[in-house]
């Protein structure tokens, strides 16, 4: 503020500042519009969101989800309206005459329309309008979706980028592409804020799990309703509760990795790192949540993780289905350490697969197959293992005060211990 401005205000008569109208209504909302637009897209994100179940998109659209406003979806594929009737709501949102708050969802990467405009074309467009200076009935032009994005994003309650193309640029922005495609965040810039002060919200995946999207929308709508806090997002705008863990941590094959057992070809049940899986370094919950209806997922179905949720995809992870260079070091170490761990666990499994009575009698009365008795190695292991396991604690069948010590007391499993009734007597 300049000195002249300060002096002018000081000499002016004291008046209350004029009330500024709120950009968006606060408090519970009855209706909220969702404007879905697509850039360089395959519509895969639309397909996966249509298959969401928790919550399902039907509940949001019908207004049957508790505490949620009714969602009016304006989608170029799923909407009943078409042509000018479909575009009318977009124009009202741009003009500020819509009457209800709205959220913008962008699918696909944002192309550089200046490149296409040089030859009078466009990369991705939706709807048409009169050319500047043309009267009604004059020449029209197609409106690029990138232009609609720049028009509607500032007035949106929230700006959501769905899918890796929209969040990080994805395949359309890979090295050598002719469109100079980019992510929504790159297009709008780091200073962008929605009408409620939110930066771009990113839900990556190619395509992401539909439930990741609907769950995030549910949490955001609770915030806009004034019924909940703003959800937690990480430094890249991802829902932190969904993308905070790596694929490997939730993978059903991860146990094989620490035991140093790896698949040699597709179809093997072991860890897939040596045949091209990037799961240990990729933020995604695909194995925990499943792909559709909480079922499936890349590794569950036998496929490797190609890191489709990551900002570096695809350039930093190609060629696909080739072992990651860093994996050579980690898997070599895992082979060595895991080989020892695997054998120790196998021994412990044999120990845990025997009843106490079988140890005493040295016989397994199974009619299915001959189960050999305890080997000398297993007996030695059990001697030290059980003493260590019950060190300072009361073993089953012992009275209070007869705690076992590492080098003291009788060996667990003697017939006298087996006939001890002190536990049943409550002593």
What's the angle, vertex CA 94, arms to CA 89 and CA 95, rounded to 5?
95
Name which of 142, 74, 149, 71 is nearest 111 in CA terms: 149
Q: Picking from 82-91, 111-120, 361-370, which range would have the lowest pLDDT averaged per residue?
A: 361-370
Q: pLDDT (tens digit, 9 = 90+) per residue, 167-209? A: 999 999 999 999 999 999 999 999 999 998 999 999 999 999 9
For strand 140-144 and strand 125-130, is the pairing parallel, antiparallel, or unpaired? antiparallel
Judged against a pLDDT cut of 50, whether residue 5 lies above it is answered with no
**Helix, strand, coil percentages in the chain from 3-state DSSP, rounded to 5:** 35, 10, 50
Residues in the chain: 427
pLDDT value at residue 7: 39
Q: What SS3 class is residue 164?
A: helix
For residue 206, count other CB atoms closer than 10 A to its CB: 21
d(CA 398, CA 301): 50
All structural domains of the chain with their residue ranges: 31-113+141-243, 245-353, 354-364+372-418
Q: Picking from 198-212, 299-313, 380-394, which range would have the lowest pLDDT averaged per residue?
A: 380-394
Name which of 92, 82, 121 is nearest 33 in CA terms: 92
pTM of the model as a whole: 0.80
φ and ψ at 385, to 5 degrees? -65, -45
Q: pLDDT (tens digit, 9 = 90+) per residue, 112-146? A: 999 999 999 999 999 998 888 777 777 889 999 99
For strand 158-162 and strand 102-107, is the pairing parallel, antiparallel, or unpaired? parallel
Q: What SS3 class is residue 424?
A: coil
Helix (H) or strand (E) holding 83: helix 83-95
Q: Is 31-113+141-243 a CATH 3.40.50.11030 domain?
A: no
Q: Which CATH number is associated with domain 245-353? A: 4.10.480.10
Q: Strands, E, within 42-82: which ranges?
A: 70-74
Which whole number is the average pLDDT over 388-399? Answer: 73
Residue with tokens 């019908």: 62
More confident residue, 74 or 426: 74
Confidence of residue 396 (pLDDT cuts 50, 70, 90): confident
Judged against a pLDDT cut of 80, whether residue 89 lies above it is answered with yes
Q: pLDDT (tens digit, 9 = 90+) per residue, 42-78? A: 999 999 999 998 888 888 888 787 878 888 999 999 8
Strand partners, 255: none
Q: Picking from 12-16, 187-191, 410-414, which range would have the lowest pLDDT averaged per residue?
A: 12-16
Q: pLDDT (tens digit, 9 = 90+) per residue, 244-302? A: 999 999 999 999 999 999 999 999 999 999 999 999 999 999 999 988 888 888 998 89
What rounded mean pLDDT belongs to the chain? 85
Token readout for 15 is 């008046």
pLDDT value at residue 405: 53
pLDDT value at residue 415: 45
Q: What SS3 class is residue 103?
A: strand
């Amino acid at each position: 503020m300049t000195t002249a401005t300060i002096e002018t205000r000081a000499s002016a008569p004291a008046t209350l500042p004029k009330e500024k109208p709120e950009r968006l209504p606060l408090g519970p909302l009855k209706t909220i519009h969702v404007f879905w637009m697509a850039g360089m897209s395959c519509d895969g994100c639309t397909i996966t969101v249509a298959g969401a179940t928790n919550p399902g998109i039907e509940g949001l659209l019908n207004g049957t989800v508790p505490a949620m406003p009714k969602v009016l979806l304006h989608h170029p594929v799923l909407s009943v309206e078409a042509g000018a009737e479909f575009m009318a709501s977009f124009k009202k949102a741009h003009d500020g005459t819509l009457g209800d708050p709205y959220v913008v969802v962008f699918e696909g990467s944002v192309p550089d329309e200046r490149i296409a405009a040089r030859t009078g074309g466009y990369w991705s467009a939706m709807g048409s309008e009169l050319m500047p200076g043309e009267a009604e009935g004059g020449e029209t032009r197609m409106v690029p979706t990138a232009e609609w994005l720049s028009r509607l994003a500032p007035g949106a309650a929230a700006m959501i980028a769905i899918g890796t193309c929209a969040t990080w640029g994805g395949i359309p922005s890979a090295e050598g592409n002719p469109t100079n495609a980019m992510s929504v965040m790159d297009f709008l810039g780091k200073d962008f804020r929605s009408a409620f002060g939110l930066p771009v919200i990113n839900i990556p995946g190619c395509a992401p799990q539909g439930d990741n999207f609907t769950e995030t929308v549910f949490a955001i709508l609770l915030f806009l309703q004034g019924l909940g806090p703003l959800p937690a997002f990480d430094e890249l705008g991802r829902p932190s509760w969904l993308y905070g863990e790596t694929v490997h941590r939730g993978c059903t094959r991860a146990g094989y990795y620490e035991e140093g057992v790896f698949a040699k070809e597709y179809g093997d049940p072991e860890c897939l790192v040596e045949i091209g899986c990037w799961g240990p370094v990729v933020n995604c919950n695909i194995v925990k949540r499943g792909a559709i209806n909480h079922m499936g997922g890349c590794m569950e179905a036998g496929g490797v993780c190609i890191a489709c949720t990551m900002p570096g995809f695809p350039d930093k992870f190609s060629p696909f289905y080739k072992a990651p260079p860093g994996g050579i070091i980690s898997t070599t170490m895992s082979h060595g350490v895991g080989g020892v761990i695997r054998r120790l666990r196998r021994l412990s499994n044999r120990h845990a697969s025997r009843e106490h009575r079988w140890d005493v009698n040295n016989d397994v009365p199974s009619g299915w197959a001959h189960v050999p008795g305890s080997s000398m190695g297993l007996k030695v292991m059990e001697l030290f293992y059980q003493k260590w396991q019950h060190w300072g604690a009361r073993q089953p069948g012992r009275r209070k005060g007869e705690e076992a010590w590492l080098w003291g007391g009788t060996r667990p499993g003697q017939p006298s211990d087996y006939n001890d009734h002190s536990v049943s007597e409550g002593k």
